[in-house]
């Protein structure tokens, strides 16, 4: 079966510091991968998605970036964090091979607090 991992689970970082969040998927190959942010009391905002190694699409301009160095690894980064980057970051995956190619499976999330 497939599983998705995210780490760290929680993170407290000062303004201006760098960021690296990691997401890995097990039990599948060539997944589509997604990064979402959920601000307090708000819905989900799609940040980036990737359909393959080295292929990144950005949905919202911001000071965040994403990379996919391996098939099942997706990394969210920032060179300098802003207070507005605080939130709950969720990674998700899906496979175009299923009968419903659009459903996504989510990781446990990373709670980021920028102080």
Partner 1 sequence: GNSVTQMEGPVTLSEEAFLTINCTYTATGYPSLFWYVQYPGEGLQLLLKATKADDKGSNKGFEATYRKETTSFHLEKGSVQVSDSAVYFCALGTSGYSTLTFGKGTMLLVSP
Interface positions with partner 1 (CB under 8 A): 6, 32, 34, 42-44, 46, 49, 51, 57, 59, 90, 92, 94, 96, 99-109, 111
Shortest CB 32 distance to partner 1, Å = 5
Shortest CB 99 distance to partner 1, Å = 8
Shortest CB 15 distance to partner 1, Å = 24
Distance CA 14, CA 2 (A): 34
Q: What are the residue ranges of helices labelled H in 2-105?
A: none
15 Cα distance to chain centroid: 20
User: CA distances (Å), 114 to each of 34, 64, 84, in order?
Assistant: 22, 14, 8
Nearer to partner 1, 6 or 86 (CB): 6
Nearer to partner 1, 46 or 53 (CB): 46
Nearer to partner 1, 8 or 16 (CB): 8
CB 91 within 8 A of CB 6: yes
Distance CA 22, CA 20 (A): 7
Shortest CB 109 distance to partner 1, Å = 5
């Amino acid at each position: 079966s497939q599983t998705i991992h995210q780490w760290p689970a929680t993170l407290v970082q000062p303004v201006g510091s760098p960021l690296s969040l990691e997401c890995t998927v097990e039990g599948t190959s060539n997944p589509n991968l997604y990064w979402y942010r959920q601000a307090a009391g708000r819905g989900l905002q799609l940040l980036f998605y990737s359909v393959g190694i080295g292929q990144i699409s950005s949905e919202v301009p911001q000071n965040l970036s994403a990379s996919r160095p391996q098939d099942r690894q997706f990394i969210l980064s920032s060179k300098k964090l802003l207070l507005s980057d605080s939130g709950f970051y969720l990674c998700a995956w899906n496979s175009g091979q299923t009968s419903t190619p659009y459903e996504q499976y989510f990781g446990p999330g990373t709670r980021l607090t920028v102080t």
